């Protein structure tokens, strides 16, 4: 199904056309092989970086694309429709550039951003911990001042790009308990004392490495402190407002791919002398799937446009992430049902889509956390 898009500029139209071409020719032919081997497609990510797709929402003066978030999210959607692990990599990398771009000093931006946004350096975001995934304010990884450096000790968990990233944003405790004691450090991946652990054996996104990272007295220069000491929690939460929109866009792209495949299959598959799409029970299922995908896209782009206009968008971001990822789980499951037994085998991509959709309900804040964020906003007096 062709998606009717309302893009703000001719440049954005050309950008989406470029993204579609790269997705078709650089990503789609490789996804099955890399997923089967569990290999991270680093060269594919570099290709996207050289095409300008890894810094789209950041200023051109630092090597970014200077694009509004509504355009960046539609790029993610197209990528996710061909290879979710790559779209997630772009989303995580964009999230990882946020602390320096939005809260770094001028010297830090000049020193780091151009290589980050150009895709030569790949980033990771170290917030979650083994005992406190959703409760980020209780993190225990600690950084202690020692001369001009911070010495970091602790363990981070569920880190996308662990072992393949070139830099890590480390959210660590430099002060007392609670969110006010948390700071953000930018560390090179090859820093002594930073050790990625064995990769997790994941249900989906098998070409995307996820692992714990151990920090054993890792020494990070003091000039790698991003923002103020004690300001790390605010940086983390603001970054996640944008990151949730990235995951919502990935969910829309994945669900659109599942819908498109199910529709194409049901047009070709005959049973009882007619196409199965012409059976009302199945046709109505596909109609509901199409409607849900469009609704999720509209909700996600609405939040992005609020962000682009400089208006509050964190609650709308939570709504978009919640709705789009729950939608993707249902649509991909229904796509498997449309194919029947064929949907359950790896000969067709819908079984992979279904496995991949599940993680989108968990990353960047579980959907239970999104409901908590939304419900607390409703409870507040205006």
Residues near 329 by beta carbon (within 8 Å), at least 6 away in sequence: 354, 357, 358, 360, 361
User: Distance between CA atoms of 357 and 360, rounded to whole angstroms?
Assistant: 5
Using a 10 angstrom Cβ sphere, with 0-12 exposed, 13-18 middle and 19 or more buried, the burial of residue 7 is middle
Scanning the chain, the segments in alpha helix (DSSP H) are: 10-22, 31-37, 42-50, 69-80, 84-98, 106-108, 114-118, 232-268, 280-308, 314-339, 350-360, 367-379
Using a 10 angstrom Cβ sphere, with 0-12 exposed, 13-18 middle and 19 or more buried, the burial of residue 188 is middle
What tokens were used for 102?
């939005």
- Per annotation, catalytic residue among 26, 70, 316, 364: 364
Quick check: is 364 catalytic?
yes
What tokens were used for 282?
């199945």
Q: Nearest-CA neighbor of 141 among 110, 172, 170?
A: 172
Query: Catalytic residues, which ones?
Result: 364
């Amino acid at each position: 199904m062709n998606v009717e898009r309302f893009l703000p500029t001719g440049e954005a139209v050309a950008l989406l056309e470029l993204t579609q071409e790269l997705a078709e020719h650089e990503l789609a032919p490789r996804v099955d092989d890399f997923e089967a081997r569990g290999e991270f497609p680093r060269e594919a990510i570099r290709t996207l970086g050289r095409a300008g797709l890894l810094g789209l929402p950041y200023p051109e003066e630092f090597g970014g694309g200077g694009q509004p978030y509504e355009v960046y999210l539609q790029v993610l959607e197209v990528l996710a429709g061909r290879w979710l692990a790559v779209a997630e990599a772009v989303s995580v990398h964009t999230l990882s550039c946020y602390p320096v771009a939005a809260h770094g000093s001028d010297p830090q931006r000049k020193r780091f951003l151009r290589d980050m946004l150009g895709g030569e350096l790949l980033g990771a975001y170290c917030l979650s911990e083994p005992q406190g995934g959703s409760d980020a304010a209780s993190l225990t990884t600690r950084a202690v001042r020692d001369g001009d450096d911070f010495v970091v000790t602790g363990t981070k968990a569920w880190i996308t790009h662990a072992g393949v990233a070139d830099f890590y944003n480390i959210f660590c405790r430099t002060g007392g308990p609670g969110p006010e004691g948390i700071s953000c450090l930018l560390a090179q991946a090859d820093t002594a004392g930073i050790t990625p652990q064995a990769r997790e054996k994941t249900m989906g996104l098998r070409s995307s490495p996820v692992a714990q990272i151990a920090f054993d007295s890792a020494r990070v220069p003091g000039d790698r402190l991003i923002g103020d000491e004690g300001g790390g929690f605010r940086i983390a939460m603001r970054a996640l407002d944008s990151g949730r929109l990235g995951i919502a866009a990935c969910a829309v792209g994945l669900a659109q791919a599942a819908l498109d495949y199910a529709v194409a299959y049901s047009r070709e598959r005959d049973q009882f002398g007619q196409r199965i799409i012409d059976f009302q029970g199945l046709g109505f299922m596909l109609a509901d799937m199409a409607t849900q995908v469009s609704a999720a896209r509209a909700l996600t782009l609405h939040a992005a446009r609020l962000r682009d206009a400089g208006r509050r968008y964190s609650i709308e971001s939570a709504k978009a992430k919640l709705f789009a990822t729950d939608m993707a789980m249902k649509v991909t499951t229904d796509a498997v049902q449309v194919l029947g037994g064929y949907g359950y085998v790896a000969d067709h991509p819908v079984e992979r889509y279904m496995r991949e959709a599940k993680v989108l309900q968990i990353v960047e804040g579980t959907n239970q956390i999104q409901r908590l964020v939304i419900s607390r906003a409703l409870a507040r007096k205006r």
